[in-house]
């Protein structure tokens, strides 16, 4: 596997998405999945993955606390790519009920531990169900999103989840992503143009202020590294 990943990582350098995605899809056997949160990166990948719907299972995590604008762009995406099936994974109601009884409906504001537990219940647990049995997981991670992602490769072995993680947009800049979105008239969350560059759950996301880094709008009341746990195992230096 190590040799295969090294070979493919070298082969992927400089390849446009329309060549990189089919190359990787055809290089791996077994179940292949793509996780979308309907953010700008995932929307771009959806456009390029849609023609390969028979090879990739597309899914999203509905946390139950999302913006109405996210549901709106979700529907517009389904309308644009009618042959693409997007499976939805929800948190366990019992887990939500127990959390709310113990911490309150917005208890995640009270401590980092509370917030991480909410993310675990609403995101991480459903994610584990979605990627169970998968051999390849496609993500929208980009190196410039945070310092912790600069050392990633296009393809990496995810030891915790026992699969290969594929980051086709790794070296794309935000301007390049935006240009492709405009070129192909790909549906975009209306919050994006209002300064919401990284869109998660509504209570945990705000618009960026001028000069703030990409992730500053997520869990803004916390200091230090801020992640929900979905990519913690393969983002190096976490």
pLDDT digits over 35-55, tens only? Answer: 999 999 999 999 999 999 999
Mean of all residue pLDDT scores within the chain: 91
Which pLDDT value is given to residue 154?
95
CATH number for the segment(s) 2-204: 3.40.50.620
Our answer to whether residue 228 is catalytic in this structure is: yes
Q: Report strand pairing: 134-138 vs 155-158.
A: unpaired
Q: Determine contact, residues 52/81, Cβ cutoff 8 Å.
A: no
pLDDT digits over 180-222, tens only? Answer: 999 999 999 999 999 999 899 999 999 998 888 887 899 999 9
| Domain segments of the chain as ranges | 2-204
The single residue of 118, 119, 204, 228 carrying the catalytic annotation is: 228
């Amino acid at each position: 596997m190590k040799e295969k990943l090294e070979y493919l990582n070298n082969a992927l350098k400089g390849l446009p998405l329309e060549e990189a995605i089919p190359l990787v899809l055809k290089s791996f056997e077994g179940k292949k999945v793509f996780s979308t949160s309907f953010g700008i990166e995932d929307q771009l990948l959806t456009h390029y993955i849609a023609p390969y719907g028979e090879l990739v299972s597309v899914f999203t995590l509905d946390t139950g606390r999302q913006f109405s604008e996210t549901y709106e762009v979700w529907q517009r995406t389904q309308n644009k790519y009618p042959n693409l099936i997007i499976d939805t994974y929800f948190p366990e109601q019992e887990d939500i009920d127990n959390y709310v009884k113990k911490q309150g409906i917005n208890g995640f504001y009270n401590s980092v531990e509370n917030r991480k537990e909410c993310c675990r219940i609403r995101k991480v647990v459903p994610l584990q169900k979605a990627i169970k049995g998968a051999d390849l997981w496609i993500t929208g991670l980009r190196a410039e999103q945070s310092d912790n992602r600069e050392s990633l490769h296009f393809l990496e072995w995810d030891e915790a989840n026992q699969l290969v993680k594929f980051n086709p947009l790794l070296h794309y800049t935000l301007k390049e992503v935006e240009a492709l979105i405009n070129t192909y008239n790909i549906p975009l969350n209306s919050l994006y143009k209002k300064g919401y560059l990284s869109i998660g759950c509504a209570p945990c996301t705000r618009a960026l202020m001028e000069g703030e880094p990409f992730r500053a709008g997520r869990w803004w009341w916390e200091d230090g590294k801020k992640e929900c746990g979905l990519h913690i195992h393969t983002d190096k230096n976490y």
